[in-house]
Amino acid sequence: MLKNFDDLLQQAKKLKKVKVSVAAAEDEAVLTAVKYASDLGFIDPILVGDEEKIKSIASKIELKNYEVVNSTSAEESAKIAVKLVKENKAKVLMKGLVNTSVYLRAILNRENGLRSGRLLSLLAVYELPQYHKLLYCTDSGINVAPDLKQKKDIMTNALLSMKSIGIENPKTAILTANEMLDPKVQSTVDADALVKMVNNNEIPSCIAEGPIAFDVAFDEHAAKHKGIDSKIAGDVDLLVFPNIETGNVLGKSWLRFNNAKWAGIVLGATNPVILGSRSDTAEIKVNSIALACLASQ
């Protein structure tokens, strides 16, 4: 069980070094995170972009062990970085100084991209001071209002990556507003169907419960009070959100009011993808690199 991001980093340090392909790497914040991960010993970076700028920044921050592939534009950098992963010269793809739409277009290119046949989805991981282990959550950043088929992909993405990280049979709460199956509330119908898919081995192995409300998922006393015999209450590993608003608001409230830490990766491609944003701290970037490297196993 990984209790916090320090545990995650220690787990990543046990890996054989993972090749990370960075698209448009001429960005000091990105290279600072890459340097930290490299210094910890779990990545070998391949930096794609403006060679002169990359080497200048690398020298400034004392990043020493890296490979550079020169590129003349952000779009070309994204294509090259994706190609390195596609050709198995790297295991993880990371976004640098490139527009998100350009980056995703390279990933989703039908001929030269990293399509797996599944939907792309975000796996966010939170370290909450009030919780006893890392909490995995999906999807709070890509799919706005997923239907049942899309939720199946989203769950599958998360469960496959968690297995790679070493979490067998994650305790999975498929969140809704209550525990009652109500045909008028689509999220409860979907949750019930997803649990049946798990039981029918249509989704990777986990201990899934749904529909289930947040209070029941995290409080075994609330479950008992409602007469629910839950195997996951108070010990959830994975939250599956009904829509992007639920995940986005809940995650941001944890960050704002609960001093939470977080990391995130995009799943559903052939390899883990680090999306990130320029506002992410170096800590978020490093934790996300470690998460992606573990998921790549």
Q: What is the pLDDT along the chain (297 residues), one digit of tens a residue?
A: 899 999 999 999 999 999 999 999 999 999 999 999 999 999 999 999 999 999 999 999 999 999 999 999 999 999 999 999 999 999 999 999 999 999 999 999 999 999 999 999 999 999 999 999 999 999 999 999 999 999 999 999 999 999 999 999 999 999 999 999 999 999 999 999 999 999 999 999 999 999 999 999 999 999 999 999 999 999 999 999 999 999 999 999 999 999 999 999 999 999 999 998 877 888 999 999 999 999 999
SS3 147: coil
CA–CA separation, 51 and 41 (whole Å): 23
**Residues linked to residue 239 through DSSP beta bridges, in sequence order:** 137, 173
CA–CA separation, 29 and 262 (whole Å): 17
pLDDT at 277: 80
pLDDT at 282: 87
pLDDT at 276: 84
Residues 158/194, Cβ–Cβ less than 8 Å: no
Domains contained in the chain, CATH given: 5-115+269-295 (3.40.50.10950), 124-261 (3.40.718.10)
CA–CA separation, 199 and 266 (whole Å): 26
